[in-house]
């Protein structure tokens, strides 16, 4: 366990002016991205990574985490005022947020959304800190057998949970694994799938891959939708005296907020589920347990509170497997791994041993980000309400420019542009045909680690499966993986049986 | 006639001198890039970043550190060979990448492809083991490994794999060799006892005080500073001098005066307390100043030695 002085200096780092400025910038940018319907979190992080090249590793990661958190809070604004969620995870917020705003109480709705977001985020951040450290100290003792087993388990779990179809999830994961093996073989030094390109020797460069599949392809999707849907105008904030949040009203939503936080944190900690699942689960739970469920969908403040608290709680909770095991469970966590890699840090339990100060500074920075989110949301209410009206034909070209500029900043040159365009086309079709994105990205990111640990396990054990009897943790995860596979396959067959008669 | 040609030569040399002195005065006219062929956070990187800071103070231009990890430093060197950046881009790395690298993998360079500006540090790599093993020195280890076929070894580089293949052949050992990625990948395997012994580039030095990673043999030309009890390979009867030198390299086409300027700055850096501290206290390697020609001669000899081993083994296993 690290000494007390580490905690102290970590907080000192997080509270320095430089750090607060960077986090403020991140949260503010995230908030704006969250508000604008055409932009989502993954796009924002992907194009922001190049912006962080010239920052210190701590500043860069704090900036990206702030950005990630900001989007979750900002997305409520467009859900409430526009009836279009800024992030898909705020779709549940529309259900009660928009009716409430239409009834002349947009300000109240926004404030409930904000407070629920901040409380959900803050509590989940504290949970992350409390859970990740003991988790990491256990994970530090894991050898190649345990790591290989856990990584395979996580991939299967994500493939099964993230998308609609398990087969499609496995296909997306398989594609990620193939791309993850490109480059030099760690044992023999043989070149794999490099096709003579020196640039591919170290593997497919991560930045062009994520900018292509996540950001640029998303803009193509947006363009496609823009042709059909020219957008609508938002509800304006009025000077209505009755339109403000009163303590008595907020008090009634508090139990819902705490419950939503708990649901969001649980969903977030499991890899692959993501914030949309969290917010809808929380909304459903709030509605079911309410004495008067009829008011839901007609502007009940508890509906907003349930959805937003869970939505925001998912983000910090999804960093638990990241910092505890080094496994990213969501797209934004996978992008953070990429950012860590670019800044030369291997994220995971080893951070606790080798860079405890960095780790605790990041945690402190996350708390700072929660508080800044409250301030930004509270005082920026009016401005953000205006931003919802920014049309797509302004947003899309700017993002495309930033995508391509980001590649050039990193110095990938023409090769990088080719990779970006190639992957943007791949990403476009993955989205169109509903292949799981998280599975693809996480598989790509963890493959080098998985491959090395698996090969070590095979060599060390002399290819003897019996080694698992001496390794109960690894054996446990292998069994769990098999159970999962059978279960997912079973439900897949059931679904197919059900859907076939309908097709006829 | 004679006078005229003399005059001409004088003029030309004069012009050249002026132009080169202009160049020298201008150098460096823009920010420099120190390319490191290893990941950030490793010992080469930690040291390189301090060296870059010290150099930038003397050169009056920023020296940016760029990590280009891959293929045991070869990725960075492949790019350096083709660099036309006239010394503004240079590689700080380990000599193994130029000596052994080209023998192991097809590269577009060899030991003679670069100008060596200077050597600044002597490597301290070693064969290490874990704390709770039934052996504590090389002789005991050999006995153990002979009695236990399948003793496991963690390899990081094609070079240490060759070394172990050579030793295993000589001693008749049956080993399981696992690949790992760098010192950060090796350390958990040794500390947990999952692997019996391993190559370590410098990671072991950090465990010198706790004794969690004892050294079986020094892979430097001399004994290690932090582990004076561990014998060198030559002392153990193996005819290998694997001693590594950390060097600054530039492309062959770099103007001589610019190389000299860099060498001057490196000499100052080896006297700088910050560079000495990071090297000798943190990564625990001795700081030296070895001029470029000496480095080149030393490395050329090493290459001959490696070639002989490869021949004896009948080629590289892969």
Q: What pLDDT score was predicted for residue B229?
A: 92
Q: Are A318 and A332 in contact (CB under 8 A)?
A: yes
Do B70 and A187 count as a contact with CB atoms less than 8 A apart?
no
Contacts of B158 in chain A (CB under 8 A): 189
Answer yes or no: is B205 within a domain: yes
Answer yes or no: is A291 within a domain: yes
Residue A192 in contact with partner chain B when CB distance is under 8 A: no
Do B70 and A346 count as a contact with CB atoms less than 8 A apart?
no
* Residue pLDDT, tens place only, B43-55: 788 889 899 999 9
Answer yes or no: is B195 within a domain: yes
Do A143 and B189 count as a contact with CB atoms less than 8 A apart?
yes
* Residue pLDDT, tens place only, B140-166: 999 999 999 999 999 988 788 889 999
Return d(Cα B287, Cα B272) in angstroms, integer: 10
Q: Are A70 and A28 in contact (CB under 8 A)?
A: yes
Q: What pLDDT score was predicted for residue B316?
A: 66
Do A460 and B176 count as a contact with CB atoms less than 8 A apart?
yes
Examine the domain organization and report whether B101 and B141 are in the same domain: no
- pLDDT tier at B318, thresholds 50, 70, 90: very low
Residue B127 Rama label (left phi>0; alpha psi -120 to 50; beta): beta
**pTM value?**
0.80
Answer yes or no: is A278 within a domain: yes
The average pLDDT across A166-173 equals 90
Residue A184 in contact with partner chain B when CB distance is under 8 A: yes
The average pLDDT across B256-275 equals 92
Secondary structure tally for chain B: helices H, strands E: 11, 11
* Residue pLDDT, tens place only, A95-135: 999 999 988 889 999 999 999 999 999 999 999 999 988 88
Q: Say whether pLDDT at B171 is over 90.
A: yes
Q: Are B120 and B97 in contact (CB under 8 A)?
A: no
Q: Which one of A143, A202, A346 has the shortest CB-CB distance to B75?
A: A202
The average pLDDT across A242-246 equals 79
Return d(Cα B187, Cα A294) in angstroms, integer: 60
Task: Residue window 349-368, chain A: list those with CB within 8 Å of chain B.
Answer: 350, 354
Do A346 and B176 count as a contact with CB atoms less than 8 A apart?
no
Q: Say whether pLDDT at B254 is over 80.
A: yes
Answer yes or no: is B281 within a domain: yes
Q: What pLDDT score was predicted for residue A393?
A: 84
* Residue pLDDT, tens place only, B90-137: 999 989 889 988 887 778 898 999 999 999 999 888 999 999 899 999
Q: Say whether pLDDT at B196 is over 90.
A: yes
Q: Which one of B68, B185, B318 has the shortest CB-CB distance to A188?
A: B318
Examine the domain organization and report whether B154 and B189 are in the same domain: yes
- Tell me how crowded residue B105 is: count the other CB atoms within 10 A of its CB: 18
The average pLDDT across A391-416 equals 81
Do B39 and A344 count as a contact with CB atoms less than 8 A apart?
yes
Answer yes or no: is A237 within a domain: no
Answer yes or no: is A402 within a domain: yes
Q: Say whether pLDDT at A162 is over 80.
A: no
**Distant-in-sequence, close-in-space partners of A191: CB < 8 Å, separation ≥ 6:** A183, A184, A185, A201
> Of A56, A147, A148, A187, which to mutate for an interface test with B (greatest number of B Cβ within 10 Å)?
A187
Residue B239 in contact with partner chain A when CB distance is under 8 A: no
Do B318 and A189 count as a contact with CB atoms less than 8 A apart?
yes
Examine the domain organization and report whether B189 and B258 are in the same domain: no
Residue A140 in contact with partner chain B when CB distance is under 8 A: yes
Do B179 and A452 count as a contact with CB atoms less than 8 A apart?
yes
Q: Say whether pLDDT at A3 is over 80.
A: no
Do A345 and B104 count as a contact with CB atoms less than 8 A apart?
no
Give the count of domains, chain A: 1
The average pLDDT across B254-272 equals 92
- pLDDT tier at A304, thresholds 50, 70, 90: very high
CATH number of domain containing B279: 3.40.190.150
- pLDDT tier at B233, thresholds 50, 70, 90: very high
- pLDDT tier at A27, thresholds 50, 70, 90: very high
Answer yes or no: is A236 within a domain: no
Return d(Cα A70, Cα A57) in angstroms, integer: 20
Do A184 and B188 count as a contact with CB atoms less than 8 A apart?
no
Do A201 and B318 count as a contact with CB atoms less than 8 A apart?
no
Task: Residue window 24-83, chain B: list those with CB within 8 Å of chain A.
Answer: 39-41, 45, 67-71, 75, 78-79
Give the count of domains, chain B: 2
Residue at a domain's end among B161, B183, B218? B218
Contacts of B185 in chain A (CB under 8 A): 452
Examine the domain organization and report whether B138 and B214 are in the same domain: yes
Q: What is the DSSP pairing of strand B197-200 with strand B151-155?
A: parallel
To the nearest whole number, what is the mean pLDDT of chain A?
87
Q: Say whether pLDDT at A335 is over 60.
A: yes
Q: What pLDDT score was predicted for residue A173?
A: 93
Answer yes or no: is B61 within a domain: yes
- DSSP string for residues in B104-164: HS--S--TTSEEEEEEEEE---EEEE-TT-S--SHHHHHHHHHHSTTEEEEE-SHHHHHHH
Q: Say whether pLDDT at B292 is over 70.
A: yes
Contacts of B109 in chain A (CB under 8 A): none
The average pLDDT across B302-309 equals 89
Q: Say whether pLDDT at A462 is over 90.
A: no
Examine the domain organization and report whether B64 and B204 are in the same domain: no
First to last CA, chain A: 63
Answer yes or no: is B294 within a domain: yes
Provide the domain limits for residue B46.
31-122+244-313
Provide the domain limits for residue A171.
4-230+242-503
Q: Say whether pLDDT at A30 is over 80.
A: yes
Q: Which residue of A has its CA nearest to B155?
A: A187
Q: How many CB pairs under 8 A join A and B?
A: 69
Do B40 and A198 count as a contact with CB atoms less than 8 A apart?
no
Q: Say whether pLDDT at A467 is over 50.
A: yes
Q: Say whether pLDDT at B18 is over 80.
A: no
Answer yes or no: is A235 within a domain: no
Q: Say whether pLDDT at B8 is over 80.
A: no
Residue A400 class from Cβ within 10 Å (0-12 exposed, 13-18 middle, 19+ buried)? middle
Do B180 and A459 count as a contact with CB atoms less than 8 A apart?
no
Examine the domain organization and report whether B291 and B303 are in the same domain: yes
Answer yes or no: is B139 within a domain: yes
Q: What pLDDT score was predicted for residue A368?
A: 93
CATH number of domain containing B140: 3.40.190.10
What separation in angstroms does the CA of A209 have from each of A183, A329, A424, A426, A432? Answer: 15, 18, 8, 10, 18
Answer yes or no: is B116 within a domain: yes
Residue A201 in contact with partner chain B when CB distance is under 8 A: yes
Q: Which residue of B has its CA nearest to A139?
A: B188
**Distant-in-sequence, close-in-space partners of A255: CB < 8 Å, separation ≥ 6:** none
Answer yes or no: is B234 within a domain: no
Q: Say whether pLDDT at A189 is over 80.
A: no
Q: What pLDDT score was predicted for residue B201?
A: 82
Residue A297 Rama label (left phi>0; alpha psi -120 to 50; beta): left
Residue A343 in contact with partner chain B when CB distance is under 8 A: yes
């Amino acid at each position: 366990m690290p000494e007390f002085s580490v905690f102290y200096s970590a907080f000192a780092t997080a509270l320095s002016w430089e750090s607060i400025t960077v986090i403020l910038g991140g949260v503010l940018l995230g908030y704006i991205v969250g508000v604008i319907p055409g932009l989502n979190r993954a796009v924002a992080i992907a194009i922001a990574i190049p912006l962080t090249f010239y920052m210190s590793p701590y500043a860069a990661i704090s900036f990206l985490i702030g950005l990630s958190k900001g989007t979750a809070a900002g997305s409520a604004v467009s859900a409430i005022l526009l009836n279009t969620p800024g992030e898909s995870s705020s779709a549940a917020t529309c259900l009660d947020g928009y009716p409430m705003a239409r009834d002349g109480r947009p300000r109240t709705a926004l404030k409930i959304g904000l407070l629920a977001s901040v409380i959900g985020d803050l509590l989940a951040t504290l949970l992350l800190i409390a859970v990740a450290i003991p988790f990491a100290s256990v994970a530090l003792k894991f050898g190649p057998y345990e790591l290989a087993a856990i990584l395979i388990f996580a991939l299967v779990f994500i493939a099964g949970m993230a998308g609609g179809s398990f087969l499609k999830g496995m296909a997306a994961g398989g594609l990620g694994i193939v791309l993850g093996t490109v480059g030099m073989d760690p044992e023999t030094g043989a070149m794999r799938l490099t096709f003579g390109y020196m640039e591919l020797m170290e593997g497919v460069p991560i930045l062009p891959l994520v900018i292509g599949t996540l950001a640029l392809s998303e803009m193509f999707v947006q363009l496609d939708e823009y042709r059909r849907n020219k957008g609508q105008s938002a509800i304006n904030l009025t000077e209505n005296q009755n339109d403000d949040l009163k303590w008595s009203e907020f008090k009634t939503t508090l139990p819902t907020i705490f419950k939503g936080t708990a649901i969001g944190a649980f969903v977030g900690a499991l890899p692959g589920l993501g914030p949309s699942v969290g917010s809808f689960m929380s909304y459903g739970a709030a509605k079911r347990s309410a004495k008067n469920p009829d008011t839901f969908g007609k502007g009940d403040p508890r509906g907003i509170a349930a959805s937003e608290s869970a939505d925001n709680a998912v983000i910090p909770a999804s960093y638990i497997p990241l910092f505890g095991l080094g496994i990213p469970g969501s797209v934004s966590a996978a992008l953070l791994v990429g950012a860590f890699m670019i800044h030369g840090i291997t994220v995971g339990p080893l951070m606790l041993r080798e860079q405890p100060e960095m780790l605790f500074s990041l945690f402190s920075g996350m708390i700072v980000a929660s508080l800044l989110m409250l301030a930004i949301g509270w005082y920026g209410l009016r401005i953000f309400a205006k931003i919802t009206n920014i049309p797509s034909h302004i947003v899309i070209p700017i993002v495309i420019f930033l995508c391509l500029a980001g590649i050039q900043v990193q110095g990938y040159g023409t090769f990088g542009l080719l990779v970006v365009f190639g992957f943007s086309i791949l990403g476009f079709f993955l989205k169109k045909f509903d292949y799981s994105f998280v599975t693809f990205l996480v598989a790509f990111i963890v493959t080098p680690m998985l491959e090395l640990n698996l090969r070590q396990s095979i060599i060390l054990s002399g290819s003897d499966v019996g080694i698992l009897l001496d390794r109960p943790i690894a054996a446990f995860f292998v069994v769990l993986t098999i159970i999962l596979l059978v279960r997912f396959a079973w439900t897949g067959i059931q679904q197919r049986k059900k859907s076939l008669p309908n097709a006829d | 006639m004679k006078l005229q040609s003399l005059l001409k030569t004088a003029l030309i040399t004069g012009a050249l001198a002026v132009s080169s002195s202009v160049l020298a005065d201008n150098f460096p006219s823009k920010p420099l890039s120190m390319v490191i062929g290893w990941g950030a956070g490793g010992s080469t990187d930690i040291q390189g970043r301090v060296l870059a800071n010290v150099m930038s103070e003397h050169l009056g231009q920023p020296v940016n550190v760029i990590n280009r990890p891959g293929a045991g430093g070869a990725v960075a060197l492949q790019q350096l060979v083709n660099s036309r950046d006239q010394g503004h881009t240079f590689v700080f790395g380990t000599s193994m990448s130029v000596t052994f690298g080209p023998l192991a993998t097809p590269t577009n360079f060899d030991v003679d492809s670069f100008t060596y500006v200077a050597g600044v540090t002597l490597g301290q790599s070693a064969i290490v083991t874990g704390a709770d093993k039934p052996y504590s020195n090389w002789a005991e280890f050999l006995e153990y490994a002979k009695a236990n076929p399948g003793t496991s070894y963690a390899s990081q580089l094609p070079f240490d794999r060759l070394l172990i293949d050579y030793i295993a052949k000589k001693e008749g050992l049956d080993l399981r060799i696992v690949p790992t990625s760098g010192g950060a990948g090796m350390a958990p395997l040794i500390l947990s006892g999952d692997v019996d012994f391993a190559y370590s580039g410098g990671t072991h030095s950090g465990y010198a005080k706790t004794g969690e990673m004892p050294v079986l043999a020094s892979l430097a030309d001399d004994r290690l500073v932090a582990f004076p009890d561990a014998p060198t390979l030559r002392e153990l009867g193996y005819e290998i001098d694997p001693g590594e030198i950390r060097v600054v390299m530039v492309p062959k086409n770099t103007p001589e005066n610019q190389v000299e300027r860099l060498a001057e700055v490196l000499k100052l850096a080896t006297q700088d307390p910050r560079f000495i501290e990071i090297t000798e206290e943190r990564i625990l390697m001795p700081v030296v100043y070895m001029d470029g020609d000496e480095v080149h001669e030393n490395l050329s000899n090493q290459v001959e030695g490696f070639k002989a081993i490869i021949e004896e083994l009948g080629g590289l296993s892969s």
